Amino acid sequence: MGTKLSEKSDLENLPSHLPVTIIGGGIAGAGVFRDLSLHGVPCALIDKKDFTSQTSQSSSKMLHGGIRYLENLDFGLVWEALHEKNLWLHLTPHLTYPEKFYLPVYQDALRPLWMVRMGLFLYDALSSFKNMPHEVANRDQVIEKFPLLRDQGLTGAGVYSDAVMDDAKLTLECIYDGLVEENSYACSHTALVAAKRVGSHYELSLRDEIKGRERTITCEQVIFTTGPFTDKLMAELKLFDWTPKLMLSRGSHLWFDNEMLKAKSPMVLTPRDGRVIFVIPQKDKTLVGTTEVPGSAQFDQSPSQEEKDYLYSNLRDYFPKAEVSDDSLLGAFAGVRPLVMENPEANLGKVARNHKVYQPHENAYILLGGKYTTFRVMAQDVVAPLLHKRGLAYRSELTLRPLRQTSLVKPWQDFRLDDQLIQNIIDQEFPKTMDDLLYRRLGQTLANYQDLRPQVEDILQRNNWNLS
């Protein structure tokens, strides 16, 4: 590779014409970008903010089949997601690891233990029995794992396998993998401000959101992977005859110190309202989420007090001795799910997590919906027909290869913060703002990334390295 990745992330270095441009650098856009790049198609990935800084870094930090989707009879989606989960466990063991999730069952539960056992067997079967086998834990075994859990009426727990992951770094590493190819580019903090069709091509006006500079490029095909912002962007661009397709659902998560709940394994809470809340210990912190409330197409969202109180209330129900409140909160974040609207009156929790590809023009593709775990399959459904149109064969085996550049700072591992590390990150992982560096490249949670800010600022200032 003749060009440094950092140079391929600058709008000024983007070719004036490219075969394909992808708008939106979350996990869906990263998957499409990697797939196209591996097939040798010159392309550019564009995002108004930092890559993966919105919905794709605001997940429950899981690769999973979606055990609650069994009740919706979404067996195809669960099968697909479980096989993708196990693929990424194999391809990215530095970003993912398998975990046993406990599903506690009480005497008055909507689903008795025998029903839970049947559901977990089906879950394993849909994974082609590649999951760690499910188990049934008795009351004492559950209390040993969760000493603060309410024990009154507890009969046991179903135990099944899913995966914990670093969502931001998985997205970024897919982008790095695409950038290894010579004619691939990825520009973060770059806005699409206007677009029009000129003959068989598209003319895209782009603006560097940090430097304020603008330039226009052309491309033959354009792909939108803008998630919850799609309907709003389509209305602003007026590029196609587009009617709204999305139901937006916001999900919020909270970070606590591990000592707050003393959970030794991940747990699934099943409140009476039919929602699912995950309690997932990660190193020295525990993640709790998620909510499901109507969302909006706004950047950089944060949980409402109502959402926090909802999670506090359910935690107190299951962990009555835990004093959860705003005072015990280490951090919180929220993201918006882009659900494809089938029925405007449908309950958000019941809306299928399937994805759809729209083609409002013969050279334009819009990818909507889906779930993080199935991003590789989502990308295939865009890239395969696009390649066919270009007279190229689709090679499904390419995306089964391991990623070729891993993050310099691995998740859940200690690291030495020094000048050389920061220089390497700037050269190889092209952060453009302090938040890019702290939150996604160094990989700190919102619960503690501000603690590193003074040290990082000192290193940057000492070396005359500028980040916004």
Q: How confident is the model at residue 1 (pLDDT cuts 50, 70, 90)?
A: very low
Is residue 308 pLDDT above 70, yes or no?
yes
Percent of the chain predicted with pLDDT > 90: 86
Per-residue pLDDT tens digits for 214-261: 999 999 999 999 999 999 999 999 999 999 999 999 999 999 999 999
Residue 146's φ and ψ, nearest 5 degrees, are -135, 80
Hey, where are the domains in the chain?
7-55+168-245+350-400, 98-165+247-340, 419-462
pLDDT: is 3 or 164 the higher one?
Answer: 164
Is residue 306 pLDDT above 50, yes or no?
yes
The answer to whether the beta carbons of residues 155 and 111 sit under 8 Å apart is no
CATH code of domain 7-55+168-245+350-400: 3.50.50.60
Is residue 273 pLDDT above 90, yes or no?
no
Residue 186: per-residue pLDDT: 98
> 303-312, 344-353, 407-416: which has the highest mean pLDDT?
303-312
In this chain, the answer to whether the domains covering 7-55+168-245+350-400 and 98-165+247-340 adopt an identical fold is: no
Average pLDDT over the chain, rounded to an integer: 93
Q: How many residues does the chain have?
A: 468
Is residue 274 pLDDT above 60, yes or no?
yes
Per-residue pLDDT tens digits for 11-49: 999 999 999 999 999 999 999 999 999 999 999 999 999
Is residue 402 pLDDT above 60, yes or no?
yes
CA distance 334 to 298: 11
Pick the CATH number of 98-165+247-340 from 3.30.70.360, 3.65.10.10, 3.30.9.10, 1.10.10.10: 3.30.9.10
CA distance 267 to 281: 9
Residue 93's φ and ψ, nearest 5 degrees, are -65, -15
Classify strands 135-138 and 184-187 as parallel, antiparallel or unpaired.
unpaired
